[in-house]
Chains A and B, each alone.
Chain A
Amino acid sequence: MSQGTDHLDLDNLDVGTKEKTFLDSTELVLNMGPQHPSTHGVLRVILKLDGEKVLGTECVIGYLHRGVEKIGENRTYAMFNPYVDRMDYVAAVSNGLGYCETVEKLLSVEAPARAQYIRVIMTELCRIASHQVWLGTHALDIGALTPLFYAFRDREEILKIFERYCGARLTTHAFRIGGCIYETYDGFEQDVKKYCTFFLPKLDEYEELLTTNRIWVTRTKNVGILKPEDCIALGVTGPVLRASGVKWDLRKAQPYECYKDLDFEIPTGLNGDTYDRYLVRIAEMRQSVRILQQAVERIPPGPIMAKVPKVIKPPVGEVYHSIEAPKGELGYFIVSDGSTQPYRVRVRPPSFVNLQALDTMVRGMLVADVVAVIGTLDIVLGEVDR
C-alpha cells in the first residue's frame, strides 16, 4: 500500500506469474475510484485485469487525510476527544471509548461502575449500528438494494437513543476522560430494552432476504478466502479474523470496562470467506443484543465520573491500549511528556490494517469480487486515511 501516486509504477506492478493465453492480449489497468459507487468513500484501487480476472491490485489512500494524529499533538487531552469521533464516523462511540480509556490508563484512573455500564451499552449499540451500515452497503455492492433501506431504518432507532443521551446522532462525543459526562436520561433503560425486542425480528428479516438467498450464497461463498495464518501475518482483526476461525476478541482476551461480568459468546467462522464474515457479523449483532439485555438490567447506581483533575496532565510515559471496535482492534498509542498536550498520538485503526488483506483476497478473482471483498472488509475511509 502506498501513500501517493508518485510511488506507483504501473508497468512494473507486481502481478505474479501470468498464464499466457493464445490471444495474449495486454492487460487492462482499471482505475477504480477515488470516485466510484462502491469503494466506500474515496479509496482508489488500481486493478490490473486480464479480461475480468484480477491479476493484481494497488490501493491508493490518503484522499481523506486530515492529519488527526498531528492535531492530537496540538490539543489538550480533553480537546482532542471529539476529533477521534471523526475517524470511524459510523462507529464514533467506540472511537471515543478507546481514546478515553487510553488516557485513563495513562492517568491510572478507572471509570466508576455505573459509567462502565453506560459505556458498554452505548458501545454495543454503536456496534450494531456500525454492522447495520456494513450490511446495507455490502448488500448494495453485491446488488441487493433493499437490505440497505431496512438496515438504515432500524439504525435510526439507535441514533435516536444516542440523540436523547448526548444530543448528537453521528459524532457523539458521548464519553469523557474518567467516565461519562451525561447521566442517563429518564427512560434510557426502557428504550434500550425496547430496542432489543424490536431489533431481533428485524435481524431475522435481514437474514430472510440474504442468508439462504441462492444468489447471495453463490456470490459470497468461497469469495475472498483468508486463511487464519494469513490473517495473523497481515494483522487482520475483528470479524474478518474471527470468520477465519481465530477466536480472538479483545472483549474476552483483554477484558476492559465491565465485559468480564457479562455473559456472551464470540462467534467464529470456518472457511474465512465472505459468507462466513457475513454470518459472523450477523451473529455478533445477536451477541450484542445479549450484552445489552444483561447490561441494562445491571446498571448500578453511583457516580459516573472518576476523580480526574480539571487540567489533565498525565505523568511522563507512554501507553498503548486497544479495544474491540466493530471493525477490529482499535488501538491508541499516546506518549506523554508531562505537559497538557500529548507528545505523540498514534492510532491503530482496524480499517487501515484490514485493508491490507485486499490484495491477498482478490488476486485471481473477478472484478465483481473486488467490490464484494471491499464491502466485506468493512472499511471506513475516514479511519483508513485519518
Chain B
Amino acid sequence: MLDAIKTYLNSTVTPGEAGSQFWALLYIVAITLGISLAVIAMNWLERKILAHMQIRLGPMRVGPHGLMQPFADALKLLIKEDIIPANADKLVFWSAPVVVTMTAFTTFLVVPFGRTHAVTDMNIGVLFMLGISSLGVLGIIMAGWSSNSHYPLMGSLRSSAQMVSYEVAMGLAIVCAVLMTSLQTGTGTLSMIGIVQAQQAQGVWFIFKFFPLGFLAFVVFAIAMIAETNRAPFDLPEAESELVAGFHTEYSGFRWSLFFLAEYAAMLAVSSIAVTLWLGGWLRPFPNLLSGPAWDLAFSLIPGLSFLVMAAGCFLGTMRMPKIVQMRAQAIGLGTFGALLGLLGLVMLAPAVRDRIQDIFWFVAKVAVFMYLYIWYRGTFPRYRFDQLMKVGWKVLLPIGLGVLILTALVGMRHELLAVVVGGTR
C-alpha cells in the first residue's frame, strides 16, 4: 500500500498512462465528488454574486450568509414527489436526465488539472471532450420530446439547432489552437496535456500567440461555449419569459436537479477546454516575466495564502455579525467554516503539499474566472432571439473562425511560404 502511494507520488504521468487502475478509479471518484461540490458552490456563488449585482443580498437565512442554502435546496429536491406526466414516454423521460448528466461528467476524464492530475491522457483528448459534450444535446432532445408538451418540445428544438450551429464555430476555434501546437515543434497534438505542454515549450499562452489571432480564436470559442451550455445571453432553450422553463418544464424533484447538475458541469467542462487551449491550463501566470526560483516560491505560496485570506474574510464576517443570541449559531458556523478554510490554507503552505497542489490551484482559479464571467453575463445581457442567435453563429462567428484559422496557418507557415515565393522567383 505504502509502495503504491509512493509510486503514485513520484509518478510523472497520469494514472491512466501509468496503467494504475486503482489510482484512476480514485481520481474518477475524486473528480465526480469535486464537480458535485463545485456545482453546489457555484449555485451559492451565482445567487450571491447575481444578487449583489442587482442590489439584493441573496440567500441569507440558511446558514451564515446562506452558505447552507444549496444543501437545503438539494434536500428539498430529493424528497420532492417524483412526477412523470401521464402522457410522457416513460422510458425516454426517465433516461434523458441520466444521459445529460453522464455526458457532462464523462468529459472530465481527460481534463488535466495538472501534469499528473488527470484520469488519463488521451491522444485525442480534445476530440473526446467535444464528442462527449455534444452527446448532451441528445439528452435534451429526449427530454423535450418525451415530455409530450409544447414548451419542452420547442425548448429542445431550439437547443438542438443552437448547439449544432455553435459547435461549428467552436470547432474552428479549437482547430486554431491545435494548429498552434504544431507550428514550432512540427508535431501537433490533440492531447489536452500535450496542448498545455506545447504552450509551456513555446513560452506563450495561445491567447497571446500571433496577437490578435490567438485572442480572436479565444473570443470565438468563449462566445460559442456560452451558447453551447445554454447560458445567458444564449439561454433560449430555457428562456424563462418565453418557454417557462424550456426542455425541463415537466421535470421536477431529483430529475430536475440532475439537469441542473449537468448544466453546471457542462459549464465547468467547456471552461476547462478554454483554459487548457488558450490560458495555459495548469501553468502559473507570468512564467517568463517573473521567472526564477524566488518567483516560483512566491507563486507556489499563493494557493495557501488565498485560502488564508478567505479564512480571514470569514472571521471578519463573524465579528461583524450582530451580537445577539439569535445569531450565535450563525456566527459559530461562519467561524468554523473560516477555521476549516484556514486549516486547509496552512496545509497547502507545507512544501510537500504545495508543490503538488499548485497545478490544480491555477487550473481551478482560471476556470473560476470563466464561472464568474458566466454570472456576470447573466446579470448584464438581455436574451437573443432565435433567428438572431443563428445569425450570430453562422454569419459572424463562423466567418471569423474561418478567417482566423486561415490567417493562423499562413502566419505560422510564413518562413516556408517565403522560401517558396523566394525560391519561385529565382
CB distance from A83 to the nearest CB of B (A): 32
User: Which chain A residues lie closer than 8 Å to B151 at the CB level?
Assistant: 30
CA distance A38 to B379 in the complex (A): 18
CB distance from A41 to the nearest CB of B (A): 14
> Most A CB atoms within 10 A — which of B158, B380, B385?
B385
B82 proximal to A (CB < 8 A): no
Q: Which of B239, B382, B384 contacts A139, CB < 8 Å? A: B382
CB distance from B47 to the nearest CB of A (A): 12
CA distance A142 to B385 in the complex (A): 9
User: Which chain B residues lie closer than 8 Å to A38 at the CB level?
Assistant: 241-242
Whether A150 lies near B55 (C-beta < 8 A) is yes
A124 proximal to B (CB < 8 A): no
CB distance from B360 to the nearest CB of A (A): 33
Whether A366 lies near B386 (C-beta < 8 A) is yes
A109 proximal to B (CB < 8 A): no
Q: Which of A148, A218, A370 contacts B384, CB < 8 Å? A: A218
8 A Cβ contacts from B364-383 to A: 378-383
B50 proximal to A (CB < 8 A): yes
A170 proximal to B (CB < 8 A): no
Q: Which of A144, A149, A219, A367 contacts B55, CB < 8 Å? A: A149
A143 proximal to B (CB < 8 A): yes
Whether A145 lies near B150 (C-beta < 8 A) is no
A319 proximal to B (CB < 8 A): no
CA distance A210 to B382 in the complex (A): 9
A368 proximal to B (CB < 8 A): yes
> Most A CB atoms within 10 A — which of B56, B158, B241?
B241
CA distance A281 to B121 in the complex (A): 58
B232 proximal to A (CB < 8 A): yes
Task: Please count how many residues in chain A sit with their CB below 8 Å of the partner chain's CB atoms.
Answer: 33
CB distance from A308 to the nearest CB of B (A): 45
B95 proximal to A (CB < 8 A): no
CA distance A156 to B292 in the complex (A): 57
Whether B154 lies near A213 (C-beta < 8 A) is no
User: Which chain A residues lie closer than 8 Å to B378 at the CB level?
Assistant: 145
By secondary structure, the B interface counts as: helix
Known: A28-B150, A38-B242. A213 touches B54 (CB 8 A): no
Known: A30-B150, A144-B381, A215-B233. A368 touches B54 (CB 8 A): no
A75 proximal to B (CB < 8 A): no
Give B232-246 as 1s and 0s: 1 = Cβ < 8 Å from A's Cβ atoms: 110110011111100
Whether A37 lies near B388 (C-beta < 8 A) is no
Q: Which of A145, A148, A218, A367 contacts B50, CB < 8 Å? A: A145
User: Which chain A residues lie closer than 8 Å to B386 at the CB level?
Assistant: 52, 366-368
A257 proximal to B (CB < 8 A): no
* CB closest residue in chain B, given A140: B241
Whether A142 lies near B54 (C-beta < 8 A) is no
User: Which chain A residues lie closer than 8 Å to B382 at the CB level?
Assistant: 139, 142-144, 210, 213, 215-216, 219
Interface contacts (Cβ under 8 Å), in number, total 86
B3 proximal to A (CB < 8 A): no
B53 proximal to A (CB < 8 A): yes
CA distance A145 to B382 in the complex (A): 7
B387 proximal to A (CB < 8 A): yes
User: Which chain A residues lie closer than 8 Å to B241 at the CB level?
Assistant: 37-38, 140-143, 371
CB distance from B160 to the nearest CB of A (A): 13
Give B278-295 as 1s and 0s: 1 = Cβ < 8 Å from A's Cβ atoms: 000000000000000000
Q: Which of A52, A142, A143, A219 contacts B154, CB < 8 Å? A: A52
Give A122-166 as 1s and 0s: 1 = Cβ < 8 Å from B's Cβ atoms: 000000000000000001111111101110010000000000000
Known: A30-B150, A367-B154. A146 touches B53 (CB 8 A): yes
CA distance A146 to B50 in the complex (A): 9
User: Which chain A residues lie closer than 8 Å to B385 at the CB level?
Assistant: 218-219, 366, 368-369
User: Which chain A residues lie closer than 8 Å to B54 at the CB level?
Assistant: 145-146, 148-150
* CB closest residue in chain B, given A52: B386
* CB closest residue in chain B, given A31: B150
User: Which chain B residues lie closer than 8 Å to A36 at the CB level?
Assistant: 244
CB distance from A311 to the nearest CB of B (A): 49
User: Which chain A residues lie closer than 8 Å to B240 at the CB level?
Assistant: 37
User: Which chain A residues lie closer than 8 Å to B383 at the CB level?
Assistant: 142-144, 215, 219, 368
A209 proximal to B (CB < 8 A): yes
* CB closest residue in chain B, given A28: B150
Whether B381 lies near A367 (C-beta < 8 A) is no
CA distance A215 to B383 in the complex (A): 7
CA distance A150 to B383 in the complex (A): 18
8 A Cβ contacts from B207-247 to A: 232-233, 235-236, 239-244
CB distance from A7 to the nearest CB of B (A): 22
User: Which chain B residues lie closer than 8 Å to A139 at the CB level?
Assistant: 382
Whether B379 lies near A371 (C-beta < 8 A) is no
CB distance from B162 to the nearest CB of A (A): 12
Whether A367 lies near B384 (C-beta < 8 A) is no
8 A Cβ contacts from A1-48 to B: 28, 30-31, 36-38
Q: Which of A30, A143, A149 contacts B233, CB < 8 Å? A: A143
Known: A52-B154, A153-B55. A146 touches B379 (CB 8 A): yes
Whether A143 lies near B235 (C-beta < 8 A) is yes
CB distance from A253 to the nearest CB of B (A): 35
Whether B150 lies near A368 (C-beta < 8 A) is no
8 A Cβ contacts from B237-260 to A: 239-244
* CB closest residue in chain B, given A220: B382
CA distance A371 to B239 in the complex (A): 11
8 A Cβ contacts from A348-377 to B: 366-371
CA distance A371 to B233 in the complex (A): 16
* CB closest residue in chain A, given B51: A149
CA distance A213 to B235 in the complex (A): 17
CB distance from A146 to the nearest CB of B (A): 5
CA distance A142 to B151 in the complex (A): 17
Whether B55 lies near A143 (C-beta < 8 A) is no
CB distance from B330 to the nearest CB of A (A): 25
Q: Which of B236, B379, B384, B387 contacts A145, CB < 8 Å? A: B379
* CB closest residue in chain B, given A139: B382
CA distance A209 to B385 in the complex (A): 18
CA distance A261 to B237 in the complex (A): 53
CB distance from B127 to the nearest CB of A (A): 32
CA distance A223 to B380 in the complex (A): 21
User: Which chain B residues lie closer than 8 Å to A146 at the CB level?
Assistant: 53-54, 379-380
* CB closest residue in chain A, given B385: A368
* CB closest residue in chain B, given A375: B241
> Most B CB atoms within 10 A — which of A31, A52, A143, A150?
A143
> Most B CB atoms within 10 A — which of A37, A139, A145, A370?
A145
Q: Give 18 A-B contacts (CB < 8 Å), ordered by A residue.
A: A30-B151, A30-B154, A51-B157, A52-B386, A139-B382, A140-B241, A142-B241, A142-B383, A143-B232, A143-B381, A143-B382, A144-B382, A146-B53, A215-B383, A366-B387, A368-B386, A370-B242, A371-B242
For the complex with contacts A142-B241, A219-B383, A366-B387, 8 further pairs of A-B residues with Cβ separation under 8 Å are A37-B240, A140-B241, A142-B383, A143-B235, A144-B380, A213-B382, A367-B386, A369-B385
Binding site for B on A (CB under 8 A): 28, 30-31, 36-38, 51-52, 139-146, 148-150, 153, 209-210, 213, 215-216, 218-219, 366-371
The 5 tightest CB contacts between A and B, nearest first, are A143-B383, A38-B241, A149-B54, A144-B382, A143-B382
